[in-house]
Amino acid sequence: MSLFQIVFYIILIIFTGSALIYGFLIEPRQVRIRYYSISLQGLPPAWQGRKIAFISDLHAGIFYPPARLASVFDKLLGLEPDLICIGGDFIEERTRLKDIEFRRRLVTQLSRLRAAADTYAVLGNHDAETEENLNYVRALLADSGITLLSNEAVMLDGLCLIGLQESYHQRPDLAAATIRCSMQNAVQSSARVILMHQPDDLPTPEATGNTDLILSGHAHRGQITLFGLPLYTVKGGRKRLYGHYILPGGAQQITTSGLGTVHIYARFFAPPEIVLIEVKAACKGGL
């Protein structure tokens, strides 16, 4: 073996080892704050300048224990949001559902969110893929004081918050949720925040417009990327993989990279994040 080959292999080993250390041990812990300022038509005056914190894809388990969530929630609560939304996938396939102590500590951390601000959530595909998972997450949220929205809506100071079912194992129904929102609101405001898990699976895109802000997760920004270029994407998270989108009907959508990991417990140039959105009323005729 030549000296050149020896040097090449040494460099390759160092690079590979560094990439593995970074992907498995460093980047998954580098939670960033992603700020957005969103203008919405029909925003109620009471919501002018308010802040919405949005997180998704916690995938709590062996590789994302409550102790790590504690530091993430410290950062989130330090932002002092007026509303907290969670986009599903609280657990993953290796979550130890029978571990009572793990569940207790998870409830303790999730309860901190509800103690600080109104907190609403939808389910993700991992939460709904088995009856055991579904029952576990529903009870987890109930014990934490977090309201689960399942094709349902609530009015919050004139703003309609809609939560849709995920689309792998359930059936999102925007029309049903919209009816419920209208029934709760005698003086109807047009602004809506639509919380959903899979970003590509809005069931009736024609029913959204420039009064809507859609919040989604699921895609993990690709999770493992070639310096930002996803090496693998998932069903329901390919069209709007990450970031801020303006949909054809005028609705705005934010897809977050989420917090946790799944299958491969690493992130590479797809860092986890907390999204903080300041909402403001749009001038007529524009965003």
Greater confidence (123 vs 180) lies with 123
Closest of 97, 120, 98, 100 to residue 110, by C-alpha = 120
How many folded domains does the chain comprise? Answer: 1
Q: What percent of the chain has pLDDT above 90?
A: 70
CATH of the domain at 211: 3.60.21.10
Q: Is the pLDDT of residue 184 over 80?
A: no
Rounded average pLDDT over 221-243: 90
- 5 within a domain of the structure (yes/no): no
Give the chain's largest Cα–Cα span: 81
How distant is the alpha carbon of residue 208 from its chain centre? Answer: 20
User: What is the pLDDT confidence band of residue 286, given thresholds at 50, 70 and 90?
Assistant: low
Inside any domain, residue 7:
no
- The helix (H) or strand (E) run that includes residue 76 is helix 66-77
- pLDDT score of 189 more than 90: no
Report if residue 206 sits inside a domain: yes
Structural domain contains residue 64: yes
Which pLDDT does position 81 carry in this prediction? 98
User: How do residues 232-242 score in pLDDT, each as one tens digit?
Assistant: 889 999 999 99
pLDDT tops 90 at residue 202: no
Mean pLDDT across the stretch 91-111?
95
